[in-house]
Structure 1
Amino acid sequence: MVELTRTTGSQRKALGIAGIARSTWQYRRNPRARVLEPVAQKDRAYLSRIPTVDRAVIAKKITAGWAGGHSVDHTFASTWDRGVMLAARRSWWRIAADIEDQSARPVVPTGRGSRTPREKPVLIATGPGQVWSWDITDLRSPWRGKAFKAYSIIDIYSRKIVGWRVEERESDHLAVAMFQAAFRQHGTPRFVHADSGPAMRSGALAELLEKHDVTKTHNRPYVSNDNPFSESEFRTMKYRPNYPGTFETLEDARGHLAEYVPWYNATHRHSGIALFTPQQVHDGSWRRAHGIRDHALQHYHQQHPERFRERPTTPAPASLVGINHLADETATN
């Protein structure tokens, strides 16, 4: 290093060439004396360290407080109120965490712990008119705390919206009226799936579905992806370029949905059904469009085979659609 420093004229440059940090070089030149039995940092007797006797007293008070159903803060404050200060509040919490026997520590009750786990809903559709999903979403207004409610029923196989309405509030009888209209126009499905909102679990709707021999299923608590089709449809609506964001009146909201639903069903090229429209998949007319697409794709492949690694295939809608259903599963509704 001396020769390299003399050559470069700078120790900093020499260390940079050698790839050695300056602090490392200084330590190597002036190493500390080795300690035969070094003391770990946590065991060192620094001035601010709480004595072992005081730690034992604090631990005993905390354990006694736990037995009486009191928190660490309660025991700390009670001791302080008696004119005794053994350590800071945060130190009490650290000592509590180090107590080996935590069995006496009060357990804070939670609402989730008392719930019986709900079975995962598994629904499968092999064609339109078998499984419907529905939900309600907020349509914002300019006023704080006020939103219009958009009701929507979607056929999960074709993604077609088979029922909708916009109201000022969520109501079971409004949902019943929407389903009655959908049944008259599209027939009755085998299953209707929804989340666990009040309108979805209402007795009036349950009676209607039971009357038409329709089985209803619901999301598990705190599992938002149990209802993916309705959530996806609402996202499509709210992320369109012409979505207004807020609606001044109920009539404005209804007018927007009256234009959106026909567009979604008959014009929107849905990525989940191979870029066909929900109406095409619902009525089966997608097969003719698929033939046209495939002919054009194969012709393009013949003209430019160098642009492909293998012969391309034209995507088609899935023959089986489900909620919480994997392709390798054999479970049925």
Structure 2
Amino acid sequence: MYLMAIVDLYSRKIMHWSISNSMDADWCTQVMNEAVEMHGCPCIINTDQGSQFTSEAFSGYVLGNGIKLSMDGKGRATDNAFIERFWRDIKYEKIYLNPPESGQALYQLVKEYVPYYNTERRHGGIEDQIPEELYWQAINKLKAA
């Protein structure tokens, strides 16, 4: 099973996520499209250099929507530390403690964890703030400007 998540760099809020049993370009493009439909186009998206993200389908969708596409260096997980931190957190705080026995069980674990991560869990990287609160503070500041 594969989990794709889109994280807001500033607030660490998980903007959208999805699970699939295959991580192909069409699925990644669909997940990106769903995120854009829910939240609008980001200025930039950072991915690794997996074939699904370097594909014409994904890169064409991203660039065609005026989104800048940034890619990590090959084999450099630290280039995208924010999503890597989320992967670590969800594994150690939820999945390893409750090993799912099916794809549906994994989906339920993620469905429970992401709202907690966004609305309750404090993050040291953002001065112990809560992602959802920081996200809306930033949005409101932008609207007021």
Same fold? TM cut 0.5: yes
Cα offset for 1:180?
1.0
| Contact 1:152/1:165 (8 A) holds in 2 | yes
Instruction: Name the count of aligned residue pairs.
Output: 138
The residue aligned with 1:204 is 57
Cα offset for 1:239?
1.3
1 CA distance for matches of 2:12 and 2:59?
23
The residue aligned with 2:67 is 214
Larger Rg: 1
The residue aligned with 1:160 is 13
| Contact 1:238/1:245 (8 A) holds in 2 | no
Matched AA of 2:90: M
**Counterpart check, 1:230 vs 2:61:** no
The residue aligned with 2:37 is 184
Matched AA of 2:109: H
The residue aligned with 2:106 is 253
Matched AA of 2:74: P
Q: Gapped runs of 5+ residues in structure 2?
A: 139-145
Q: Gapped runs of 5+ residues in structure 1?
A: 1-147, 286-333
> What is the aligned-residue identity percentage?
26
Matched AA of 2:44: F
Matched AA of 1:208: Y
Equivalent position SS for 1:284: helix
| Contact 2:94/2:109 (8 A) holds in 1 | no
Equivalent position SS for 1:170: coil
Cα offset for 1:210?
1.6
Select 1:172's aligned residue among 12, 15, 25: 25
Q: Deviations over 1:260-306 (max 9, x none)?
A: 11111111111111111100110008xxxxxxxxxxxxxxxxxxxxx
Q: Deviations over 1:177-200 (max 9, x none)?
A: 111111111111111101111112
Q: Deviations over 1:222-259 (max 9, x none)?
A: 32211111101111111116744532111111111111
- The 5-angstrom pairing of residues 78-89 of structure 1 reads none
